[in-house]
Amino acid sequence: MSAPIRKKRIAILISGRGSNMVSLIEAARAPDYPAEIVLVLSNRPDAAGLVRAREAGIPASAIDHKAFPDRARFDAALQAELEAAGVELIVLAGFMRILTDAFVEAWAGRMINIHPSLLPLFKGTHTHERALEAGVRLHGCTVHYVVPELDAGPIVAQAAVPVLPGDDADTLSARVIVQEHRLYPAALALIAGGGAVLDGGRVRFTAQERDAGAAILSL
């Protein structure tokens, strides 16, 4: 009989409805998934994703950023919750709050995000509108490690979608988010399972996961 998998303890940070969070929760139900979601936190008490997390049986709470005089004190409260839950890896899923450099550096190599563009294109917000304005033929999403510079961390995986004639921001966004829901759980599994390793500012796949990594990149 094989030994049970050692699962990484994950916290998901959200600000809204948590659609990517739901895809991660669903994936983590699999017995062989190498990550366990132990906590969901939001900076907004009214975030719909908190209710969805609780319905899935996951501890979820809000730390209202408006209750703190500055970002550093908000981040300190966040850190205390994460430490109390024994979190090993942070997953940002629509967390609309800029974290301090000190917090990001404390979690270097242990915090990932999903961004709705093919980085390094279209960092920041309004990515779908900007992709349409630029006339690109491919758009998509990127899972990357978080570093102090916005949307500039090492890339773990990407998924591309075509930009179709007649697309507007809503139709393009809808096509991208389908891929986000596939890409994020797969990328987290690679990281938590040790198949993707941060090495000198780049992500490399271990030998046994190289084929899996290539498949993710070509979703």
Written as one string, the DSSP assignment of 73-100 is HHHHHHHHHHHHTT--EEEESS---PPP
Query: At 212, is the pLDDT very low, low, confident or very high (cuts 50, 70, 90)?
Result: low
Catalytic residues: 115
pTM of structure: 0.92
Q: Mapping DSSP to helix (H, G, I), strand (E, B) and coil, where does residue 29 land?
A: coil
Q: What is the C-alpha separation between 163 and 117, in angstroms, rounded?
A: 12
Q: Render pLDDT for 41-83 as a digit per residue (tens, 0 to 9).
A: 999 999 999 999 999 999 999 999 999 999 999 999 999 999 9
Q: Where are the alpha helices (DSSP H) in the chain?
A: 19-28, 48-55, 71-84, 101-106, 127-134, 169-192, 210-217
In percent, the amount of the chain with pLDDT more than 90 equals 88
Structure tokens at 105: 């550096």
- For residue 172, the model assigns a pLDDT of 98
- For residue 206, the model assigns a pLDDT of 83
Please give the C-alpha separations between residue 63 and each of 45, 80, 165, in angstroms, as whole numbers.
7, 11, 43
Q: Quick one: CA torsion of 174, 24, 199, 106, rounded to 10 degrees?
A: 110
